[in-house]
Amino acid sequence: MVSSTAGTGLQIADLADRPDLETAMLTMESTWPAYIRPDPILVHWIFERHARHQLVVLDENRTVVARAASAPLAWDGKVGNLPDTGWDEALRQCMSDTYAGHRLTALCALEIAVVPGHQQRNLSARTLQALKQHARDQGFGDLVAPVRPSLKHTATHLSMAGYAAQTRPDGLPQDPWLRVHVRSGGEIVKVCPASMTISGSLPQWRGWTGLPFDTSGPVDVPGALAPVIADVEQGYAVYVEPNIWVRHRL
């Protein structure tokens, strides 16, 4: 799929048609913290096996300015069956469903990211809309997403359920990224409390964050949505990130 967004000068392509863009997509500058480290083998497999569902947004200069990575799943439409281990499980489930030959009924948005400095063009919302249209065109019934709220890192000690419940006077979510999803027709359906689990040695965490990690217990880390739990005696720390499942009915 290669298409243009009318009046914007933007072009949207998928990696099945433009495999030459894979490196640019993967190395695109983004705001993800250094300690967010998805399984590279699974990510590579999904990009290779499901290249059609990896979208790249190009500007007028044919430079990559946004991306949307996604994985197809066999989902029965029951909210309770969206995994509590959201992002991590979506990667694993995509592989197991694909190899088992199950009918892939939903597209799961793994990431929608915009190159810093380009947010003023409303690219996050445009990229989300492009992914939704892609999912429709491919015959999926739903687009689901374990959403990483953009300002949850400013309230690390507030539960994700409490954070998701915060709304503006107009009833829309306080969080900007959740608000984009809801304005686009998305429905907040549940918290996934252990969407990503990242563990590492204390030297690794010091390298990723520049923090000393010299005391056991919760550590507030820049960009994290919840405290990282350190164990100095055992020499490791673990970060369990909560996300919010959002459903877009197609």
Separation of alpha carbons 78 and 76, rounded Å: 6
Mean pLDDT (the chain, rounded): 94
Q: pLDDT at position 9, please?
A: 85
In 3D space, the residue among 164, 139, 173, 150 whose CA is nearest the CA of residue 245 turns out to be 164
* Residue 29 pLDDT: 87
At the top level of CATH, the class of 2-195+243-249 is alpha beta
Residue given tokens 């991306």 in the structure block: 67
Would you kindly state where each structural domain of the chain is located, as residue ranges?
2-195+243-249, 198-239
**Is residue 245 within 8 Å of 191, Cβ to Cβ?**
yes
On the question of pLDDT at 70 being above 70, the answer is yes
DSSP bridge partners of 12: 3, 57
pLDDT tens, residue by residue, 24-65: 998 998 888 999 988 888 989 999 999 999 999 999 989 999
pLDDT per residue as tens digits for the range 96-138:
999 999 999 999 999 999 998 876 678 999 999 999 999 999 9
Average pLDDT over residues 162-187: 97
Q: In the prediction, which pLDDT does 79 show?
A: 98
Return the H-helix or E-strand segment holding 232.
none
Burial category of 164 from C-beta neighbours within 10 Å (exposed 0-12, middle 13-18, buried 19 and up): buried
- Residue 6: pLDDT over 60: no
Residue 204 has pLDDT above 50, yes or no: yes
User: What does 15-68 look like in DSSP terms, one character per residue?
Assistant: TTT-GGGHHHHHT------TT----HHHHHHHHHHTGGG-EEEE-TTS-EEEEE
What single letter denotes the amino acid at residue 125?
A
| Of the candidate ranges 17-31, 141-155, 201-215, the one whose mean pLDDT is the lowest | 17-31
pTM (2 d.p.):
0.94
